[in-house]
Chain A
Amino acid sequence: MSYFAGIDIGSTAIKAAVVDDAGALVGTHIAPTGSSFHKNAMETFETLLARHGITRDAVKFITATGYGRKLFKEADDSISEITANAIGAWEAGKAFGGVRTIINIGGQDSKAIQIDVNGNVSNFAMNDKCAAGTGRFLDVAARNLEIDLEELGDYHFGGNGTPLTINSTCAVFAESEIIGLLAKGHGKEEIVAGIHYSIARRTVRLAKRVGIEDRVYFDGGPALNKGLVAALQDELGRELVIPQEPQTTTAFGAAMLARSQFLAEA
């Protein structure tokens, strides 16, 4: 049996995925990027192989993607995370009846991608420069509110009043806005919902720039946050397709590409 791997070296987490000859997903593994990403990337990859009893030799092709892709010399090839994400979502989206638009919120950036009827990227947009409205922003907000990142979803649904308006999506300005709201005596629930809506508004603006078509796939770590998902669906006016493990779509896409590249060259 031969296997093909995709490794997505993101700013916050390293995601690895392995597919088999038939293109079926064998397994995935996620680990924090940390400061020595190269060592951590190798460990993530090896852990994944060990868990599924796959030898290194059985992996015929590795495609790297994400922030650290070019420095990961163990890979056979590299691909930008936009293309890898599109391939992964297209493949994974088949189980949901097919997807044409992807919203991806990562640790440091957010993207909207439009896929054409053949599964190729037809248009995409990426946020500019700073980490406004990304996973990093949720991180900072949670810290300010002294709650765990995982709890944000519960808080979102816990409030009775309307969500507060948070105008800034810049992590630094939002921080002072959040502190200001706390000082005025507002509840954490309303603030959390406000944060989610502010990210959702910004993300929908980005998605509208590329054009929203058909089913929308939402992935990246923040897609685990049920509150953010609800806010995004509300702002978007449609339901989102969310994969079981939203962090690994891009790594899966890279693995699928590794497979097709290997087969094309063979």
Chain B
Amino acid sequence: MNTTPSEALAYNRSRQAREAETLLDRIQDGFPDNPQAMRYFYDLFRNVYCHGEPVKHEGTLVGTTCIHAPEELIYAFGATPVRLCNGSYHYDQIGADFMPAKSCPLVKATLGSLHAKAAVPNTAALELIVNPTTCDQKTKASAMIAAMGYQVHDLELPPAKESEEARLYWQRSVRRLAVRLRELTGRKLTRNNLKQAMARTARAQAAFRALHQLRKSAPALFLGKDAFLVTNAYFFDDLDRWTAAVEQLNAELLQRQQAGFQAAQKRAPRILFTGSPPIFPNLKLPLLIEEAGGVVVADETCSANRMLYDMTAVDEWLLNDMVDGLADRYLKPCTCPIFTRNDDRQRRLLQLASDFSVDGVVYQAFAGCQVYEMEHRSIADVLAAQDIPMLYVETDYSPDDMGQLSTRIEAFLESIKTRKRSKQ
């Protein structure tokens, strides 16, 4: 640590540190059977979020504000991406100076942490922030981030993903980002370094997929609160170290599977989580579900499954084709509700529900996250048609509604159990 003791003490006592500590205590002490391999992630979050330890990265540091920023491209230029999406109530409060009170807490918290310039994780200075123009709020955040003194690159994203025009528009956007990164790093993009970057993220994605598959086990081998912690670490951890830690976790879970171990009760309702993303330290909702006796077995969010499930598929190994293939990976499979048509999201949810033998769906919409709010009805209808119960929860980062939420979640889990009993 290169901070002075007095600075370290001040950080420990900060609201941000307390928020993180409270959550980690609940995650670690509230559950008896945490995997040994989770130790790496618990320690990582404690060191980074509770003690303010710096995270060291290679090369230029590039912040990203959404999963649409193609990280393979950033790695290929010898730079390191750090995802800036923030889950802290403390920074949400600071960010309220920039955005209307009713806007999305995620965007507010990201602005708040950038404004505080004490961003957690504590990294070297961000030399560029890539801001994909996804939802209106993130789009408008661009100018505010720039006004704080950061270099911002608006990565233009089309509002549709089916049309060929949208695809070409997006491919051009990604190429423009490549130009910007070349100017920033002074390096050249080559087939070789892009291929290497793709191989690194592919290994990470393969590790995630293996973890994802292990969650099909019934009874569950481990809990969703840990899964979200693992995927949240991907935001800022060193890519290769993260991958190795996940591989180790997978090995342990495989052992658990062979030993017939169960991390939850046999009849614990299996929950699919969707909607606005749980981002550390705001794991409020998944944690309440599991504290109430449910288990989150799968998710459809941009802080986990949507971020890591899909890999780049390249069939033409020429540089331009590789970049296009990379661009496609960030557009085509994405099930974010920002797109005009979103049949893919409905299909994905139904698929996950059946693959993971899900008993119910919990849909989180951050108050002010309009796209998720608007889409919840259509999702509820699709699920109802398949006789899958859904709980819609509108919430934000504040802890005020925890009492009410826990009652609602318990009632939801109880109603699932009764349904299952009456079906038997």
Co-assembled chains A and B: yes
- A: which residues have CB within 8 A of B? 67, 79-83, 109, 118, 120-122, 124, 126, 128-129
Q: A118-B422, A120-B422 are in contact. Are A126 and B408 (CB under 8 A)?
A: yes
| A67: chain B residues within 8 A (beta carbon) | 403
Contact of B414 among A79, A109, A128, A129 (CB under 8 A): A79
Residues of A within 8 A of B394 (CB): 128
Partner of B408, one of A82, A118, A120: A82
Q: Is the CB of A121 within 8 A of B415?
A: yes
Contact: A109 with B411, CB < 8 Å?
no
Residue of B nearest to A79 (CB): B414
Return chain A residues, CB-CB under 8 Å to B422.
118, 120
C-alpha spacing A79/B415, complex, angstroms:
11
**Distance of A237 Cα from B72 Cα, bound (Å):** 60
Residue of A nearest to B408 (CB): A126
Q: Does B404 contact A (CB under 8 A)?
A: yes
Contact present for A80 and B401 (CB under 8 Å): no
- The minimal Cβ–Cβ distance linking B101 to chain A, given in whole angstroms, is 14
Given A120-B418, A120-B419, A121-B418, do A83 and B404 touch, yes or no (CB 8 Å)?
no
B410 contacts chain A at the CB level, 8 A cutoff: yes
Give the docked Cα–Cα distance between A80 and B416 (Å): 13
**For the complex, would chain B's binding face be called helix, strand, loop or mixed by DSSP majority?**
helix
Asked whether A129 and B415 contact (CB < 8 A) given A81-B407, A118-B422, A120-B422, the answer is no
Once bound together, how far apart are the Cα atoms of A219 and B207, in whole Å? 53
Chain B residues with CB under 8 A of A79? 410, 414
Residue in B403, B404, B414 whose CB lies within 8 Å of A121: B414
Q: How far is the CA of A128 from the CA of B398 in the complex (A)?
A: 13
Asked if B411 and A128 make an inter-chain contact with CB atoms under 8 angstroms apart, the answer reads no
Given known pairs A124-B408, A128-B394, the reply for A83 and B415 (CB within 8 Å) is yes
* CB of B400 closer than 8 Å to a CB of A: yes
In this complex, the member of B400, B407, B422 whose beta carbon has the largest number of chain A beta carbons within 10 angstroms is B407
Question: How many pairs of residues, A versus B, come closer than 8 Å at their CB atoms?
Answer: 44
Most chain B CB atoms below 10 A, which of A67, A80, A126: A80
Residues of chain B within 8 A of A121, CB atoms compared: 411, 414-415, 418
> In the complex, which residues of chain A have a beta carbon less than 8 angstroms from the beta carbon of B389?
122
Nearest first, the 9 A-B pairs at minimum CB distance are: A82-B411, A80-B410, A121-B415, A80-B411, A83-B414, A120-B418, A80-B407, A129-B401, A83-B411
Mind listing 9 A-B residue pairs with CB under 8 Å?
A: A79-B410, A80-B414, A81-B407, A83-B410, A83-B414, A121-B411, A126-B404, A126-B407, A128-B404
Within 8 A of A (CB), among B387-423: 389, 394, 400-401, 403-404, 407-408, 410-411, 414-415, 418-419, 422
- A124 close to B411 (CB less than 8 A): yes
Residue-wise, chain B 34-55 has the 8 Å CB interface mask toward A (1 for contact) of 0000000000000000000000
Q: Decide yes or no: A122 and B408 within 8 Å by CB, A128-B401, A129-B400, A129-B401 being known contacts.
A: no
Task: Give the distance in Å from the alpha carbon of A261 to the alpha carbon of B407 in the complex.
Answer: 20
Report which of A82, A122, A129 forms a contact with B407, defined as CB distance below 8 A.
A82
Residue on A nearest B367 in the bound complex, by CB: A128
User: A82 contacts which chain B residues (CB < 8 A)?
Assistant: 407-408, 410-411, 414
Chain B neighbourhood of A109, CB < 8 A: 404
CA distance A120 to B410 in the complex (A): 14
Q: Which residues of B contact A122 (CB under 8 A)?
A: 389, 415
Q: How far is the CA of A118 from the CA of B424 in the complex (A)?
A: 14
**Contacting pair A129 B404 (CB below 8 A):** yes
Cα-based distance from A119 to B197 in the complex (angstroms): 57
**Cβ contacts under 8 Å, B407 to chain A:** 80-82, 126
B50 to chain A, nearest CB (A): 28
What is the distance, in angstroms, from B89's C-beta to the closest C-beta of chain A? 15
The answer for the CA separation of A80 and B415 in the assembled complex, in Å, is 10
Report the separation of the CA atoms of residues A1 and B46 in the bound assembly, to the nearest whole angstrom. 56
**CB of A254, distance to nearest CB on chain B (Å):** 12
How many whole Å from B294's CB to the nearest CB in chain A? Answer: 13
B356 to chain A, nearest CB (A): 23
**Contact residues of B between 358 and 408, Cβ < 8 Å to A:** 389, 394, 400-401, 403-404, 407-408
Given contacts A83-B414, A122-B415, 14 further A-B contacts (CB under 8 A): A79-B410, A80-B407, A80-B410, A80-B414, A81-B407, A83-B411, A83-B415, A83-B418, A109-B404, A120-B415, A121-B418, A126-B407, A128-B394, A129-B400
Q: How far is the CB of B129 from chain A (nearest CB, A)?
A: 34
Residues in chain A near residue B404, CB distance under 8 A: 109, 126, 128-129
Alpha-carbon gap, A173 to B407, bound state (A): 27
Complex formed: what's the CA distance from A207 to B403 in Å? 21
- In whole angstroms, what is the CA distance A31 to B382 when docked? 46
Instruction: With both chains docked as a complex, state the minimum distance between the C-beta of A66 and any C-beta of chain B, in angstroms.
Output: 9
B289 to chain A, nearest CB (A): 13
Q: Which residues of B contact A129 (CB under 8 A)?
A: 400-401, 404
The residues of B that contact A128 with a CB separation of less than 8 Å are 394, 401, 404
* Residues in chain A near residue B418, CB distance under 8 A: 83, 120-121
Interfacial residues of chain B within 66-111, with CB under 8 A of chain A in the complex:
none
Measured CB to CB, the nearest residue on chain A to B401 is A129
CA distance A126 to B401 in the complex (A): 11
Closest to B398 in A: A129
